[in-house]
Amino acid sequence: MIMRTEVPRRLTILGSTGSIGTNTLDVVRQLGGRDAFEIMALTGNGNIELLAEQARKFGARLAVTADENRYAALKDALSGSGIAVAAGVSGLDEAAGLDADWVMAAIVGTAGLAPTLRAARRGANIALANKECLVSAGELFLDAVSSGGGLLIPVDSEHSAIFQCLDKSQRHALERIILTASGGPFRACTREEMAGVTLQAARSHPNWSMGLKISVGSATMFNKAFEMIEAKHLFGVRPDQIEVVVHPQSVIHSMVGYVDGSVIAQLGVPDMRTAIGYALSYPVRSALDVERLDFAKLARLDFEAPDETRFPALRLARTALERGGLQGAVLNGAEEAAFAAFVAERIGFLDMADVVEAVMDQLAGLGSAGEIADVVQADAEARRRARDVVSKMAAA
């Protein structure tokens, strides 16, 4: 593994205009701004105004919008700044290919796969927030990281917690990984109540402030399903070693259990800047101005078993893990299409899991991925089939 610790660290943020992206820039500011980080590239999609403002403020060398139709607007917004501008898939590729030591992978969805792979292959250290790289492309993504020689540091709070709790010298004694889940906004609702919920209700996470996709994923628990698959790849554990426990306060971010019965947990207030700061400062810890846990105020921590009847996503994740191969790509592609249909009000909240399960059953026989093209194809096929299932549901 390459360990680059020069200051300033050269950093590219893929998805700088999103929830993780803006939190990352706040961490950059807290850790010393331009004295500590040289920003190589920032990328966004639709939010040109914010992207241009960030690029100017942090002195980025390159600003990229993934949306080619917005190239002219970004160029205009950055005129006279000396900051290079690019757009589209080739623009993202250019951003990922710049010689940054660290790349924060924070694009939402499958769109993040190609640029993150590009950065991994050239040996960048990857701070990984984007889930699809591991859920859809698992082993192939890990191969890219290992052939590039960079580090892979998880940013998802659960995986950051596990990474922090793992005693690498006692790897043989690792028994289980316990992912905590808030249970989302419908933790205490009946299935009947969940059937009629709106997008507005589904996006209102009780503890975390996050982007739209992951907020709805927390409500369905598909987010936890993805995290189970991520955990398998990141920590090399068997599916039966991955447990999920509902913990409504989101204070314990996840835990590691050892063969002697010990369980090690990582705790903190629900604020993504801690996990982001840990990744960007690795291997040291840097001071951050985030709220501290007040145990007396907290008073109690609650736990309960997840209910897989109301949250079938967890069962579907286990099916995908057991089947292996391209099932992660199928699960992810189908879920993204089902999510889009829910946002467009074509299907109801509970229908999302039904769509995913139908597509997984149809594509259960898909084998393993030999190359990324196989992942892209499985993803496209899963989306196509999910749209068919949605059309039939909407017509019924």
Q: Which residues bind ligand NDP (CB under 6 A)?
A: 15-21, 44-47, 66, 106-108, 111, 129-131, 156, 208, 210-214, 272
46/196 with CB nearer ligand NDP: 46
62/214 with CB nearer ligand NDP: 214
Number of alpha carbons in the 13 Å side-chain half-sphere of residue 137: 26
Q: Strands 174-181 and 242-246: what pairing?
A: parallel
Ligand-binding annotation for 75, yes or no, is: no
* Structure tokens, 376: 């892209």
Q: How many CB atoms lie within 10 A of CB 176?
A: 16
56/149 with CB nearer ligand NDP: 56
Asked if 187 and 257 touch (Cβ cutoff 8 Å), the reply is no
333/358 with CB nearer ligand NDP: 333
Looking up tokens 């993204």 gives 336
Smallest distance from ligand NDP to CB 70, Å: 9
Residue 226, helix vs strand vs coil: helix
Smallest distance from ligand NDP to CB 67, Å: 7
Please give the Cα distance from 183 to 305 (Å, whole number): 10
Smallest distance from ligand NDP to CB 243, Å: 19
Ligand-binding annotation for 147, yes or no, is: no
Residue 343, classified by CB atoms within 10 Å of its CB into exposed (0-12), middle (13-18) or buried (19+), is middle
Ligand-binding annotation for 158, yes or no, is: yes
208/258 with CB nearer ligand NDP: 208
Q: Which residue intervals of 98-186 are DSSP H helices?
A: 113-121, 132-148, 157-165
Smallest distance from ligand NDP to CB 275, Å: 8
Asked if 154 and 160 touch (Cβ cutoff 8 Å), the reply is yes
Ligand-binding annotation for 116, yes or no, is: no
18/248 with CB nearer ligand NDP: 18
Please give the Cα distance from 163 to 144 (Å, whole number): 20
C-beta nearest to ligand NDP: residue: 18
Please give the Cα distance from 145 to 82 (Å, whole number): 32
Smallest distance from ligand NDP to CB 211, Å: 2
Ligand-binding annotation for 209, yes or no, is: no
Ligand-binding annotation for 16, yes or no, is: no
Ligand-binding annotation for 131, yes or no, is: yes
Strand partners, 252: 267
Smallest distance from ligand NDP to CB 23, Å: 7
Binding residues: 17-20, 47, 130-132, 156-158, 182, 205, 211, 218, 223-224, 227
Binding residues for 1-deoxy-D-xylulose 5-phosphate: 131, 157-158, 182, 205, 218, 223-224, 227
